Amino acid sequence: MATLENQKIVLVTGGTGLVGQAIKKIATQQNDPLYHFIFVGSQQANLINFEETRNLFEKYKPNFVIHLAAMVGGLFKNLRQNVEFFRYNMSINDNILNCCRIYNVEKCVSCLSTCIFPDKITYPINETQLHLGPPHSSNEGYSYAKRMLEVLSRLYNNQYGSKFVCVVPTNVYGPHDNYNLEDSHVIPGLIHKCYNSMKQNSDFVVWGSGKPLRQFIFSEDLARLFLWVLKNYEKSEPLILSVAEKHEVSIETVATLISKSMNFNGNLIFDSSKADGQFKKTVSNERLMELIPDFQFTPIEIAIEESCQWFLQNYETARK
């Protein structure tokens, strides 16, 4: 049995958020005696500040880092604050990777997003297409900052022999999400809207046509994949973490599933006067399935049901 002295310390930035809490749950379930996980959020350190970031590394002296921390938000927050999304995320990523080098971290797994891929591109998207054109203009601040995280990781690997790898999840959802109606992602935002419609006995109004297509990944599935990458993925190239193309669904389908899971019996209306954003950004999970062919994703019907129930049971304390 490994003791704390010979366990590998894994520092998880953004550890209090959606993906961090899912990793915490799955790591606890797996109970691997070789790893000791430390989950930190913005209350422990402001990662935009280098000295605070360095103090965090000095305190824990991690062997591994899972880097999730970022300024994030939905379509409309991105449209309003592209400058802030670029500047803050560039600072966070620079500080984290610099500290990983200074403290000789064995491996850093950083989280990107499929929204950073080029807007005009052939589908399905694969890992080689990351830099082949500009991202969608709606979130280019966030997208370019995340692209530079991949570039900086590669430069560290080449110059210092680091082992910094980036993974690219599709749209993540699940317990502990951000349900703020102004800056949430699509699924938590729709869950909260549906809840309000039930309480107010009003129509459930979804912004946009409902036609755009997305590949959604349940946070607990993503957590299992993060831990697999941490322990098993030895290549330096980015890796897309996603359900298959055949599991891509429309926003209309998602809204309908949420209505069913929340037992909403009113009218579901799509407001086409609101922006849809990018129509589709289908990605290929072919490389992932070659590496881990037996991995089973949670069906979206089950995962949305679990997500809705978590929100209902934790409404008072959920981020909103």
Place of tokens 């991995």: 295
Distance CA 138, CA 278 (A): 8
The radius of gyration computed from the CA coordinates of the chain, to the nearest angstrom, equals 19
- DSSP E strand stretches across the chain: 8-13, 35-39, 64-67, 107-111, 164-169, 171-173, 204-207, 213-214, 216-218, 239-241, 249-250, 268-271
Out of 35, 60, 123, 142, pick the active-site residue. Answer: 142
Q: How far apart are CA 17 and CA 169, in angstroms?
A: 15
- The residues, ordered by sequence, that sit 6+ positions from 53 with a Cβ below 8 Å of its Cβ are 45, 47, 95, 96, 99
For residue 318, give both structure tokens: 């959920």
Torsion angle of C-alpha atoms 109, 114, 120, 125, degrees rounded to 10: 80
Tokens for 290, please give them: 């070659």
| Beta carbons within 8 Å of 90's beta carbon, 6+ residues apart | 145, 148
Instruction: Residue count of the chain, please give it.
Output: 320
* Residue 142 is among the residues annotated as catalytic for this protein: yes
- Cis check: omega of the bond before 124, within 30 degrees of 0: yes
Tell me the catalytic residues: 142
